[in-house]
Amino acid sequence: MSGTKKPRTQFRGGQPVFAGGNYGCPGKGVNVNHGLPLRTGDFRGRARHGPPVPHADRAGITFRNDCGRMVCAGVLESAANTFLLLIAVRFFAAGAVAKALVAAGGSVGLLLSPVAVMWVSRVGWTATRGASRLFLIGAAACLVAAVLPTVWVYVPACMVAMTLSSAVIPLMTQAYHDNYPESERGKLYARSFMLRIAAAMIFSWAGGRFLDWRPTWFALLLVAFAAAFALSAWAVGRIPSNPIPPSGGSHPLHAMRYVREDRLFRQTLLVWMLMGFANLMMLPMRIEFLGNPVYGFSRSAAEIALLTGVIPNLARLVMNPVWGWLFDRVNFFALRIVLNVGFALGILAFFTSNDSAGLILGSVIYGISNAGGDVAWGLWVTKFAPAGRITDYMSVHTFLTGVRGVAAPLVAFQLIQRFPLQGLGIFSAVLIVAATLMLIPEMGRWKGRRSADPLTEEVTD
């Protein structure tokens, strides 16, 4: 607001410390609206959600605990992107449908995220308390897959685990909106996300070496994934957040009305659907391309993990702070256009190559683009939505991501039985370019929206 000094973020010992306004008053620690102490998981002072949390401490508490969660998320990312599908291909000799279901598990969670949001809202839990419960169920699913290693148990257990790992995303987005100031949100998110990238990179390398050393001990990897889920539940449960405000809807897809009412939101979702479908078609194809001898590579588990986990994540680790800084400062659609071009080039370099140099180049370009995609995908609705509707907007976004994420692997695994994989890669790159061209006219509308929308511009927390 005019005349109000916005908080600025400094880092002391690696943690955010706020100066200016109420954020920098370590002795006060009260809700400036009601004089009530803030509590873990609830800013309205409900004692059942934990001990009081001073208003000035909420960003620091969120950052510290989210750093722990991000390490676990990196381990789970390596599971979703590499190991669960690799185990299905190498150790269970799974068919096309089974492999597609394993690859689509995370997308099913996005598809069901509106259900998760509605459930948490109706039971009166805070966003982070609901996310913590979902993580615990994911841990149980991984343990079941480890104890009963048959394809009939493995595939559904993997789907349940990965479904729950992504169903929490709108809940966590609400916590970031509640606890981080808007002007610093991208930087804080990117800083903790670097730990996720590093963990994914390290675990991809270590897990690949482990499977080459003891191929039949893959159940131990599943136990490690269960531990990551359990630790995520503990860390998220310590992050303060508000109960999700009721939206008055009677069904999980009630938030879809915002697609009809908000033209710019609708257009952005359409572009993201085309680009995302193309990108998600090719994501599981990387494992298929490198691991299936039909395509002439048949790389070892360590080499596959290097090309699909270590190298892309190293590029992400380097570029993530840059994209976080840009997210806070540049036109969102300009940022999205640059990222889309990178994804298209990465797919072309990877799938049209016949040597290691091309595979490495494609992995690097994909990692650089994915670093920006991490920040843009996770936080873009905080630039669009009114403060009280962050979770609703994000649930629509994640639902549509789930739609394409479930459909894309199923379509891709069927198409490669009829068409060359390289041709599918070229088609995906063309689809991404077409989606990118649709964004160019929206750049001017984005500027007008940001200057005229006080609901998002006045938020400082």
What's the pLDDT tens digit per position in 100-134?
888 888 888 888 888 888 888 888 889 999 999 99
pLDDT at residue 348, rounded to an integer = 95
pLDDT for residue 55: 55
Does residue 458 sit in helix, strand or coil? coil
Mean pLDDT value of segment 260-287 = 88
Share of the chain above pLDDT 70, in %: 82
What are the structural domains, with CATH classification, of the chain? 45-457 (1.20.1250.20)
**Strands, E, within 233-374: which ranges?**
none
Tokens 């987005």 locate to: 173
The 10s digit of each residue's pLDDT in 158-215 is 999 999 998 898 899 888 888 888 778 878 888 888 899 889 889 988 998 898 888 8
Q: 264 or 229: whose pLDDT is higher?
A: 229
pLDDT of residue 94: 78
Q: Which of 72, 96, 18, 7 is nearest to 292 (CA)?
A: 96
The pLDDT of residue 444 is: 67
**pLDDT class for 59, splitting at 50, 70, 90?**
confident
pLDDT reading at 143 higher than 90 = yes
The pLDDT, as a whole number, for residue 330 is 83
CA-nearest of 383, 261, 374 to 322 is: 374
| R_g (Cα) of the chain, nearest Å | 22
Does pLDDT of 50 surpass 80?
Answer: no
- Output 377 or 250, whichever has higher pLDDT: 377
DSSP state of 331: -
Residues 295-330 have pLDDT tens digits of 777 778 888 888 988 899 899 888 988 888 888 888
pTM of the entire predicted model: 0.69
Q: What is the per-residue pLDDT for 24?
A: 32
Name the one residue in this structure whose structure tokens are 């998760």. 116
245: Cα separation from own chain's centroid: 23
Q: What angle do CA 370, 376, 380 make, to 5 degrees?
A: 160
Contact 265, 389 (CB under 8 A): no
Distances 179 to 60, 63, 168 between C-alpha atoms, Å = 9, 9, 17
Cβ–Cβ under 8 Å, residues 105 and 80: yes
pLDDT at 376: 87
Nearest Cα to 301, choosing from 202, 413, 409, 204? Answer: 204
Supply the pLDDT for residue 223.
96
| Tens digit of each residue's pLDDT (9 = 90 or more) over 236-259 | 999 998 887 766 555 667 778 888
Query: In this structure, are residues 84 and 158 in contact, taking their beta carbons and an 8 Å threshold?
Result: yes
Q: Give pLDDT tens digits for 418-427.
A: 888 999 999 9
Residue 145 has pLDDT above 90, yes or no: yes
List 17's β-bridge partners, or say none. 10
Q: What SS3 state is found at 311?
A: helix
pLDDT band at 141 (very low <50, low <70, confident <90, very high): very high
Mean pLDDT of 140-148: 94
Spatial neighbors of 37 by CB under 8 A, at least 6 apart, are: 29, 30, 31, 45, 52, 53, 54
Within a 10 A sphere around the Cβ of 344, how many other Cβ atoms? 26
pLDDT of 27 above 50: no
